[in-house]
Amino acid sequence: MDNYMINKIMQPGYFYARFGNPTTDACADVIAQLEGAEGGTLLTTSGMAAISLVMLTFLKSGDHLVCQFPIYAGAIKVVEDILTGNNIEVTWVDSNESVEAFEKTIKPNTKMVYIETPCNPKMSIPDLESFGKLAEHHPQLITVVDGTFGSVYVQQPLKYGIHISLHSCTKYTGGHSDITAGCLSFCNKELYKNAHWYLVLLGSSLSPSDAFILHRSLKTLPIRMERHSSNTLAIARFLEKHPKVEAVFYPGLESHPHHTIAKKQMKHFSGMTSFEVVGGKEVGSKLVEVCKNKIIDIT
């Protein structure tokens, strides 16, 4: 890319949609306000595009990544198939471990700590405040949180000192199964500019039409998330009392080991839950088959 194009990217104004457009920026600005993102927000073509973008922008050959396990399966494949193949070292830490366990794995070449909250699928809730303080002791670190299971309405990781907040907007933010999209929100402009450069180069910019639809969905996000959360809490409480349920994983339940942390950093507890049935995998598989295309009354 020649200097003319580079200068164009760095200057205000619009001249080519992949480099930026007013419709996409209008939507990004709303998400940035919801996130408390002083650095701004970038919109991508999918959640996977956001995950790939943040890893490819800030990790280089010879770097070390500390990553929570489990995380979204697509993110695991990016780490295993792309990052490790490009000489990036990875250390996995169980999602139920404390921040101290993550800190013990940090090396001089560690450049990123990557976590999810709530965690997919264990529904673990890492303490965002504790992870936000990691960079105070390790200034080379960038902390990244995938908050897709919570949404930009339910929690704001940047307010706890996290550097980058990531979401698949295909899920709660879009909410209507009519687009795929992702977003990255930044604590400062330097991180934003670095990621924006890679966004343009990789062609991951969200289209104006999809940004318009996403902007529409943001108007109903609060009421949708409140109802998602109240409905799921009712389901989780029902399952917790069911004799054929072994365990229920939902941060809104007092029995959840991270319930106190969840209350501190989440407005609501979201619509995601998981549970284990008595009888293990075989019984669980039968339950899934029975539930297909059926509405079950739990009242």
Active-site residue among 63, 114, 127, 146? Answer: 146
Query: Helix, strand, or coil here: 109?
Result: coil
Catalytic residue chosen out of the listed positions 63, 114, 127, 171? 171
Which of the following is catalytic: 72, 114, 160, 250?
72
Annotated catalytic residue, options 18, 159, 263, 267: 18
Structure tokens at 264: 């501190």
CA 234 – CA 259 distance, rounded (Å):
16
Distance CA 167, CA 174 (A): 11
CA 48 – CA 74 distance, rounded (Å): 7
Active site residue 2: no
Known catalytic membership, residue 25: no
Residue 122 annotated as catalytic:
no
Q: Residue 58's closest CA among 118, 117, 123, 135?
A: 135
* Pairing between β-strand 64-69 and β-strand 110-116 as defined by DSSP bridges: parallel
Residue 248's CB: how many other CB atoms inside 10 A?
Answer: 21
Active site residue 237: no
Residue type, 221: L
Tokens of 297: 């009354």
51-to-114, 266, 275 alpha-carbon distances in Å: 10, 22, 27
Task: Summarize the chain as % helix, strand, coil (round to 5).
Answer: 45, 15, 40
Q: SS3 for 184? A: strand
Q: Which residues are annotated as catalytic? A: 18, 72, 146, 171
